[in-house]
Copies of this chain bind each other. A is one copy, B any other.
Amino acid sequence: MTLTVDFGPNDIVKQIDKTGIKGQHLIFIDDYSSTELENIFKTAEMLEPFWRNRIPLLEGKILCTQFFQPSTRTRFSHETAMFRLGGNVITESNPLVSSAAAKGESLYDSLRVTSQYADVIVLRHPDEGVIDTIEQLGSDASPIISGGYGNVTHPTQGLLDMYTAYRALGGDFKEMTVMIATPDLSRARSGQSFGLGLARMGSKLIYSGTTGLGVPPLIRAKLKAMNANFTEVNDLTIG
């Protein structure tokens, strides 16, 4: 695939509209349909030539990064993206995970307040209970993008891995068989997001890990619901 720049910001805006993701929270990668994912990758491909350049698609907008679990790389990558799209950033990299902050109700309130400041929020939290909070918020908050929740989801990392596969292997996910291997599949949230994305696109999955530390039930249920072609091989003893 050759990258050309025979298009302008308006074409990118049109392409973004095709993704249909505007204004929505991003919790799980399978919140997107295969068509939406395809359009996200096409958008990424159009943005790639502007890698080090500012392209003012989000001029005057504000991103809030709130990381209840530290991650310099994930935080920096979202902030850099916002700057390259022309926006600005407010950031909290060390929120006190106090009893108040840990309670669902308080986080609910905090995200409502932050939504008055920011046009979009990237939230990382060690507790997957935040998913309930975000679902309760619905449209009472600015779009909240997960930068990792508990052990179950890290969709932006999953999208990066999907895009790498798309660019490196020609984009036909249906032809791909992918092994997701790690000693502890029960806590591999990036791997789970990659897996859900691949399954959504029709790839074949093989999970390889350690007995007793397998794919979380929630993820397994999601894979079954989308009729995914996946096997789990958790005892790799060679006999």
A residues contacting B by CB (< 8 A) are 52-54, 59-60, 62, 64, 66, 70, 72-73, 76-77, 79-80, 83-84, 88-90, 92-96, 110, 113-114, 117-119
Contacts and interface: CB of A to CB of B under 8 A. Distances in A.
Contacts of A53: 60
Contacts of A93: 92, 94
B76 A119 contact: no
A73 to B, nearest CB: 6
- Residue in A60, A93, A94, A95 whose Cβ sees the most chain B Cβ within 10 Å: A60
Contact of A83 (B62, B72, B84): B62
Contacts of A95: 72
A55 to B, nearest CB: 9
Determine how many copies of this chain the complex contains. Answer: 3
A118 B84 CA distance: 10
Contacts of A88: 83, 88
A118 B83 CA distance: 11
A150 B114 CA distance: 25
Nearest to A95: B72
Nearest to A86: B60
A214 to B, nearest CB: 27
Contacts of A114: 73, 76
B54 A59 contact: yes
7 contacts: A53-B60, A72-B92, A76-B92, A80-B117, A83-B88, A88-B88, A93-B94
Contact of A90 (B64, B79, B90, B92): B79
- Residue in A53, A88, A93 whose Cβ sees the most chain B Cβ within 10 Å: A88
A80 B88 CA distance: 9
A80 B62 contact: yes
Contacts of A84: 60, 62
A53 B58 CA distance: 11
B119 A80 contact: no
Nearest to A80: B117
A-B pairs with lowest CB-CB distance, top 5: A54-B60, A80-B117, A83-B88, A79-B90, A72-B92
Given A64-B76, A83-B90, A93-B94, 8 more contacts: A60-B84, A62-B84, A66-B72, A73-B114, A76-B118, A77-B117, A80-B90, A83-B88
